[in-house]
């Protein structure tokens, strides 16, 4: 048979086999077919986690893992809002006890007996002295035989607090904690003076005076003065327990070369354990077989029951056996895989907003018909975050408390249309900030009583930005009629320092220039990288700047301190990037910061907010709104801005997911079938003709 005939027959055969192979399953499934229908959650991460050691980890992309592996004494209630602390390993939320007339405050924490660590080789004594050859052939610490465990005790929490002062760990909260925990700063200085003997520093040999062991399951932390917000830190991984065996195990020679460290392989008592860590591609959490269990909450916000969020009340956590996180460096592939059912939930970005959400005239967001047809759900929440346009209080033109500069700032606060900014660049995913405190935090005011009267009026049941004419009058009162300095006659030129991110910056920069041009003010934008931007903030060489802050804990102190004089970035290297100072504001802050949340505290916050609005150290800002989409097979999904331990509350219907994936990703076979049919139509006659010629040739011979 000639070559071209053989090629046609081969192609027909391949097409037939392909059609047969497509009978079951889908061709684009990125996961193992054997896992279809199983109790596995599939998600993704964009940024590679850098630290999984609880003494160092502080980033949100790391918290997804650390919050379900480690267990600090406290956690946030999953469903209740405003956010409330609840016991995790502790028997109760500890109450502060003042001693020596308020000179010190003591927190006594009682840990529940019977909690055990995940299975790990560190708890087997014979794995504490491994030879290098054994370590070299390991792919994972869990390749070692005879994993062991032990009970969680108070000494593990004490050991971790000592690690915050470890000279080689550089914990990001050491400076703050050293200001409060008795003896912590001195403890760090003592450790620095120790000779370098081996790789492991045996912290058990060096007691810390401010942390005391009461018994095997109880310990006390002694603070200087009053710091009511300290209890919130007890819900963060910084105060999770660390078994000394784990730290010693990973300090054996040869471990670091294999990436066998606490930064790579965390050890905890939580519901999950990290069993695969390839941060460039995939990370896998599996159920901790030693987990002590915890009931799903039985109460929440009004409306939670109607949304099915209380259907699992009282059932033991966690519900999911395994969670697979894949690295996605770009948002578009992440979104497409979500639509195909290969990720169980997804955030909404500017690129896919219009495909997913419709915004009504009144601002309410609803899903598009495409999303509703797929059974996708939507939940929104305003983040405990504020982004703002800051003014450098040290600047001779915009800064300071003179009436001239204050009126200039007030004029700009009216002119800069944050509502428009959110509409254009965020698809409306946010609310305009009327003060430093975001929704969900004590002290936030909503509705008519919450508007900023300097920039808005309450009309027809909503806040409306004041007319531009009022801004122009304030500008003239400041001595800049039509954007010109009345003294010099020169046009007013202001400077905005901004970090360069990409091509989309141009549209935003043009928008900022237009906002200032409303008042005939020329805005010069100075682009820079993040490191240079931070250097300018430290030196106070900026005039205007854009920056944000997300809550460490749900307390107004964590936002109001951004405007405290003692937190000035230039003079104190604090978080007050505007270098704002006002004696009345600072005095009120000192009164408010250590008060329990009460009507009196709310009144003080109101007064501080009024001062902020009058002085305008920030030319407004906004609180972003997070939109979360989830498939119909994912239950109990509720955004929680304070906690990242949501995995243990989620439930998956694996069989429903497998069926819907198959329906959404079934291969389109008719083009293949049509091509095969056409080939058959052309090949069969040709084969028959060829055979006839062969037979005739044979007879002739």
Per-residue pLDDT of 290-337, as tens digits, reads 999 999 999 999 999 999 999 999 999 999 999 999 999 888 889 999
Host H or E run for residue 626: strand 618-630
pLDDT of 460 strictly over 90: no
**pLDDT value at position 670?**
54
| 72, 66 contact by CB (below 8 A) | no
pLDDT at 689: 66
Would you say residue 525 has pLDDT above 80?
Answer: yes
* pLDDT in the model for residue 362: 59
**Within the chain, how many helices (H) and strands (E) appear?**
22, 26
| Residue 5 confidence (pLDDT) above 60 | no
Q: What CA–CA distance (Å, rounded) separates 529 from 260?
A: 34
The model's pLDDT over 591-644, given as tens digits with 9 standing for 90+, comes to 998 888 899 999 999 999 999 999 999 999 999 998 889 999 999 999 888 888
**Ranges 24-33, 143-152, 500-509, 594-603: which has the least confidence:** 24-33
Model pTM? 0.84
Q: pLDDT-based confidence at 503, cuts 50/70/90?
A: confident
Minimum mean pLDDT range among 12-26, 238-252, 311-325, 541-555: 12-26
What distance in Å separates the CA atoms of residue 272 and residue 53, rounded to the nearest whole number?
Answer: 15
Buried b (16+ CB within 10 A) or exposed e, 327-357: ebeebeebbebbbbbbbbbbebeeebbeebb
Band the pLDDT of 493: cuts 50, 70, 90.
very high
Per DSSP (E only), the strands in 307-422 are 316-317, 322-327, 345-347, 357-359, 365-367, 377-382, 385-391
10 confidence band (pLDDT: 50, 70, 90): low
Secondary structure of residue 239 in the 3-state scheme: helix
Give yes or no for residue 266 having a pLDDT over 70. yes
d(CA 457, CA 431): 16
Whole-angstrom distance, CA of residue 510 vs CA of residue 379: 33
> Is-contact 241 259, C-beta < 8 A?
no
Residues in a beta bridge with 452 = none
Please give the pLDDT value at position 643.
82
How much is the pLDDT for 676?
Answer: 59
pLDDT score of 420 more than 80 = yes
- Residue 522 — pLDDT band, cuts 50, 70, 90? very high
pLDDT at residue 683 in the model: 60
Q: For 1-28, what is the mean pLDDT?
A: 54
Model confidence at 265, pLDDT cuts 50, 70, 90, reads: very high
Give the pLDDT band (50/70/90) at residue 514.
very high
In which band, very low, low, confident or very high, does the pLDDT at 67 lie, cut at 50, 70 and 90? very high
Q: Which of 236-240, 328-332, 430-434, 524-528 has the lowest mean pLDDT?
A: 328-332
pLDDT score, position 359: 77
> What average pLDDT does the segment 365-370 reach?
90
Helix (H) or strand (E) holding 630: strand 618-630
Q: What is the pLDDT of residue 24?
A: 53
Asked if residue 560 has pLDDT above 90, the reply is yes
Where would I find the H helices in 439-568?
Answer: 468-477, 505-517, 530-539, 557-560
* Mean pLDDT (whole number) for 206-222: 97
Of 284, 240, 119, residue with least CA distance to 647: 284
CB 140 within 8 A of CB 198: no
- Give residue 695's pLDDT: 65
- 186, pLDDT greater than 70: yes
Residue 563 has pLDDT above 90, yes or no: yes
What is the model's pLDDT at position 329? 85
Q: Between the CA of residue 86 and those of 76, 79, 112, what are the distances in Å?
A: 6, 11, 14
Of 73, 85, 250, give the one whose Cα is nearest residue 161.
Answer: 73
Question: Is residue 361 scored above 80 in pLDDT?
Answer: no
Using the predicted structure, report yes or no on whether residue 19 has a pLDDT greater than 80.
no
For residue 29, what pLDDT is reported?
Answer: 85
Band (701; pLDDT cuts 50, 70, 90): low
686 or 357: which leads in pLDDT: 357
Q: Are 221 and 227 in contact (CB under 8 A)?
A: no
> Which range has the top average pLDDT, 2-11, 55-64, 659-668?
55-64
């Amino acid at each position: 048979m000639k070559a071209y005939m053989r090629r046609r027959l081969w192609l027909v055969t391949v097409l037939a086999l392909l059609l047969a192979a497509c009978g079951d399953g889908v061709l684009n499934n990125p996961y193992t077919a054997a896992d279809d229908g199983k109790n596995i959650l599939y998600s993704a991460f964009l940024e590679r986690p850098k630290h999984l050691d609880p003494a160092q980890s502080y980033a949100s992309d790391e918290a997804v893992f650390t919050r379900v592996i480690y267990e600090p004494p406290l956690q946030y209630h999953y469903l209740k809002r405003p956010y409330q602390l609840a016991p995790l390993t502790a028997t109760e939320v500890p109450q502060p006890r003042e001693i020596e007339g308020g000179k010190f405050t003591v927190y006594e924490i009682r840990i529940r007996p019977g909690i055990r660590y995940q299975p790990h080789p560190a708890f087997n004594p014979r794995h504490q002295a491994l030879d290098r050859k054994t370590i070299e052939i390991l792919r994972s610490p869990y390749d070692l035989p005879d994993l062991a465990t032990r009970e969680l005790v108070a000494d593990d929490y004490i050991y971790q607090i000592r690690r915050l002062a470890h000279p080689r760990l550089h914990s990001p909260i050491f400076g703050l904690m050293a200001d409060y925990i008795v003896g912590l700063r001195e403890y760090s200085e003592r450790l620095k003076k120790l000779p370098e003997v081996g790789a492991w520093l045996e912290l058990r040999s060096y007691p810390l005076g401010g942390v005391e062991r009461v018994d095997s399951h109880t310990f006390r932390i002694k603070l200087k003065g009053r710091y009511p917000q300290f209890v919130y830190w007890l819900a963060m991984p910084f105060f999770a327990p660390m078994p000394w065996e784990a730290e010693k195990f990973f300090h054996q020679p040869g471990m670091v070369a294999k990436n066998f460290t606490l930064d790579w392989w965390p050890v905890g008592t939580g519901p999950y354990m990290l069993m695969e860590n390839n941060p460039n591609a995939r990370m896998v959490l599996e159920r901790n077989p030693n987990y002590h269990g915890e009931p799903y909450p039985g109460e929440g916000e009004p409306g939670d029951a109607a949304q099915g969020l209380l259907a699992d009340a009282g059932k033991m956590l966690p519900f999911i056996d395994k969670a697979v996180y894949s690295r996605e460096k770009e948002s578009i592939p992440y979104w497409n895989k979500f639509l195909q059912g290969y990720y169980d939930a997804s955030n909404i970005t500017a690129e896919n907003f219009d495909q997913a959400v419709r915004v009504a005239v009144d601002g309410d967001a609803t899903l598009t018909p495409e999303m509703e047809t797929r059974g996708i759900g939507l939940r929104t929440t305003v983040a405990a975050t504020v982004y703002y346009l800051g003014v450098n209080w040290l600047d001779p033109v915009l800064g300071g408390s003179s009436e001239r500069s204050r009126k200039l700032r007030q004029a700009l606060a009216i002119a800069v249309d944050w509502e428009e900014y959110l509409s254009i660049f965020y698809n409306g995913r946010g609310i305009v900030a009327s003060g430093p405190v975001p929704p969900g935090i004590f002290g936030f005011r909503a509705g008519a009583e919450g508007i900023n009267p300097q920039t808005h009026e309450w009309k027809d049941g909503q806040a409306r930005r004041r007319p531009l004419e009022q801004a122009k009058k304030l500008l003239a009162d400041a001595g800049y009629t039509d954007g010109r300095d009345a003294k010099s006659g020169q046009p007013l030129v202001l400077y905005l320092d901004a970090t360069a991110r990409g091509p989309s910056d141009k549209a935003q920069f043009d928008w900022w220039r237009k906002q200032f041009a409303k008042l005939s003010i020329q805005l010069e934008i100075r682009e820079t990288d993040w490191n240079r931007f931070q250097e300018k903030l430290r030196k106070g060489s900026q005039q205007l700047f854009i920056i944000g802050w997300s809550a460490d804990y749900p307390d107004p102190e964590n936002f109001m301190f951004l405007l405290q004089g003692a937190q000035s970035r230039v003079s104190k290297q604090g978080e007050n990037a505007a270098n704002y100072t006002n004696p009345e504001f600072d005095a009120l802050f000192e009164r408010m910061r250590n008060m329990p949340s009460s009507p009196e505290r709310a009144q003080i916050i109101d007064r501080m907010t009024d001062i902020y609005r009058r002085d305008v150290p920030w030319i407004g800002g906004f609180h972003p709104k997070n939109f979360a989409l989830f498939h119909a097979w994912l239950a109990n999904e509720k955004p929680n801005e304070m906690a990242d331990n949501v995995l243990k509350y989620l439930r998956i219907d694996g069989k429903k997911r497998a069926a819907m994936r198959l329906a959404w990703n079934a291969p389109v076979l008719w083009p293949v079938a049509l091509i095969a049919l056409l080939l058959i139509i052309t090949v069969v006659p040709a084969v028959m003709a060829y055979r006839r010629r062969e037979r005739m040739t044979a007879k002739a011979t």
